[in-house]
């Protein structure tokens, strides 16, 4: 599972992929629909979607002659769990630092 999470974080390191994921979070759509709203070509969008799919951040389903992409909620939940762990540790450390400061004369 660690490899998947690392791949997902790496996949989200690209601003275009983050834009695509934001777009798909609004509603499922095709490569053409995504490309119409972004300053990148359809082949580039397809390549970004492939990376996001491999990172388990998007799902694809056929609809007639088109392929419709949508957010993979399970993959996103896994990222959220890891982010929550970081946040929890950061809050614990902050609490510890504040308590240490208040204990000092």
pLDDT in tens, 16-54: 999 999 999 999 999 999 999 999 999 999 999 999 999
Residues in Cβ contact with 40 at an 8 Å cutoff, skipping those fewer than 6 apart: 16, 48
Token reading at 80 = 């959220």
Which residue ranges form the domains of the chain, and what is each CATH number?
4-103 (1.10.10.10)
The residue among 70, 50, 51 whose CA lies nearest residue 61 is 70
Please write the tens of the pLDDT for every residue from 81-97: 988 888 878 888 888 88
Residue 20: alpha-carbon gap to chain centroid? 10
- The reported pTM is 0.78
């Amino acid at each position: 599972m660690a490899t998947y999470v690392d791949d997902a974080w790496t996949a989200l390191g690209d601003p275009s992929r983050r834009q695509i994921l934001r777009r798909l979070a609004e509603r499922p759509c095709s490569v053409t629909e995504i490309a119409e709203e972004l300053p990148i070509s359809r082949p580039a969008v397809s390549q970004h979607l492939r990376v996001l799919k491999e990172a388990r951040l998007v799902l694809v389903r056929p609809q007639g002659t088109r392929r419709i992409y949508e957010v993979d909620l399970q993959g996103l939940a896994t990222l959220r769990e890891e982010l929550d762990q970081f946040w929890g540790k950061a809050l614990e450390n902050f609490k510890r630092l504040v308590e240490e400061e208040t204990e000092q004369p």
